[in-house]
Amino acid sequence: MRWDSEERRSGGHREHSIDDMGTKIIYFTVNGRPEQAEFPVDCPAQSLKDLFRSAAEAGPHDILKLYNPKGNIINISPALEPNAPNSCYKLEVVAADCNSEPLGILGLKVKRGILGDFERKLQSLEKKILIEAGETPAIVYEMKKQVDSFREKLESVEHLSWLGLFKDLSEGAHKPSPFYHKRALHKTREECEHVRETFLEMSSLQVSEEVRQYLKTPTFDNWQWEDAEIMVLLQVMYTDLDFTASFNIEAEVLQHFLFEVYRHYNNIPFHNFKHCFCVTQMMYGLIWLTDLRNKMESVDLLIMLTSAVCHDLDHAGYNNAYQINARTELALRYNDISPLENHHCAVAFEILEKTESNIFRNLAVDQYKRIREGIIKCILATDMTRHNEILNKFKSILPAFDFNNKEHRDVLMMILIKVSDISNEARPMEVAEPWLDCLLQEFYNQSDVEKLEGLPVTPFMDRDKVTKPSSQTGFIRFVLLPLFIELANLFPCLEQHIIHPVRKALDYYTEMEKALERESQNWAQSENAAKAKETAADGHADDAASASKPDQ
């Protein structure tokens, strides 16, 4: 399996897209450069994606999009339709990871150098300002740009890398990343305004029935949609569940609410606006799959969907353990009790306090009070330290579950938002795996900061101890599956939709973990063999030297 540009550049190409050996040829362009990929028709989907990633020279966390000649997005999979050189696909890197690791500078392996020292101090300064002021001054961004520019010039000179002045090459691809991001933590006014205008332009467009049905499934691929489009899809959810009609939510108020929600999600690897959408979309899908519209009141469904939309508002990328250990303002404000979740709730109701974005403004006081109580209960349930408490409560009522019992419904609502919040592994692998990469990046950022500040390092976030498969196998076995199985006990139809994919994901990461272990063992054996060979060679040299000496 290979991708090839030389054959295209030389003017030659194959006459057929599938040869007699069952090899498929796909012609495409990357940044206007003609390329071709050659692979077996039965090759694994992930291998093909890696092939295209190599052709695009994309990083491991970059998101790829492939377009057909009509300009439509198509999946990168072995089922790609063969094409000809005159009908090339177009490959783009459209969502580069904002945390691409420019330099290992967090004090783990930094050796010396003025640049490394200055960059480290700049990061420390930025973090202090962010904690105290909530935003970074323009002058700090300008300084970072200058440092980045200088570093890129240095790193572009490959023959200097052996000096090891700025990074330890023995780390290989496993290198620490800075805890600040190339994009500002908060969205800029210009960025928000552009997305808002695009959203408002699109909001009156009719979403096709095909997309509406696709939106109700756990297989929905979030990576194909931009932020403005995502807001349109969220608007569709409120409309198709009849919330706009039942609760008298005006279109412009709903649009303003969704925009304010978008604006209050930060530019961090995982807990961002796209994560908000994924959780909400899974909740929306579960409502339809389990026929909850005929089992629960509309107000409860409104609570669940809105809770999903708001559940991680203004998340800064550091979990509750960090907030508490670092004694942040949030931890002090909420007395170490679910500081993040309490903050997400508070931000949600700050948005809802404004008349122009209060989607509940036409409701009676009692109804608003019920909704507020329900949203707080649901968002606080997403604190994973309460996982066992909530799951055990659900298991205890499950044998006699009654939809007419308010306490039973409240626990179910908490279970549904918990399932939605951690549901990525229930999605197709090509959708789920990039999310794991994003999550690990956020974890590693936090553990790097914890080491830098001398705080207790969260074990499952430590880049020196955690691998991609090891982070998932235990989580799937002991958290995901027990939770999902209990929900499926109440709704057996979910077995095929969320449990089967999670079991496949467990198999996938278990095999990956075994492969890494074998690779590690092979490497250790090779190292031992090399050392033994070197020792033997030294012994022969000593013997030869002794034999050559004259007798005394």
Residues forming the active site? 271
Cβ atoms of 413 and 304 within 8 Å: the answer is yes
- CB atoms under 10 Å from CB of 39, counted, come to 20
Choose among 266, 272, 262: nearest CA to 196: 262
φ, ψ for residue 296, nearest 5 deg:
-130, 160
Q: Cα 367 to the chain's mean position, in Å? A: 35
Dihedral sign of CA atoms 388, 392, 393, 395 in order:
positive
Q: Is 436 helix (H, G, I), strand (E, B) or coil?
A: helix
Listed residue (302, 293, 412) closest to 352, CA to CA: 302
Length of the chain: 552
Maximal CA-CA distance, the chain:
110
Distance CA 205, CA 215 (A): 16
* Strand bridging mode 23-30 / 33-40: antiparallel
Distance CA 101, CA 176 (A): 7
Q: Which residues partner with 40 through β-bridges?
A: 23
3-state class (DSSP) for residue 493: coil
154 within 8 A of 115, measured Cβ to Cβ: yes
Contacts of 239 (CB under 8 A, 6+ apart): none
- 3-class DSSP state of 66: strand
Place of tokens 């050659």: 38
Q: How far apart, in whole angstroms, are the C-alpha atoms of residue 47 and residue 511?
A: 15
Of 351, 320, 319, the C-alpha closest to 335 is 320
Contact 494, 426 (CB under 8 A): no
Q: How many angstroms separate the Cα of 399 from the Cα of each of 287, 390, 396?
A: 21, 16, 7
- SS3 state at 298: helix
Q: Which two tokens stand for residue 290?
A: 């389990």
CA distance 414 to 396: 14
Q: Are 103 and 178 spatial neighbours (Cβ–Cβ below 8 Å)?
A: yes
3-state DSSP call for residue 198?
Answer: helix
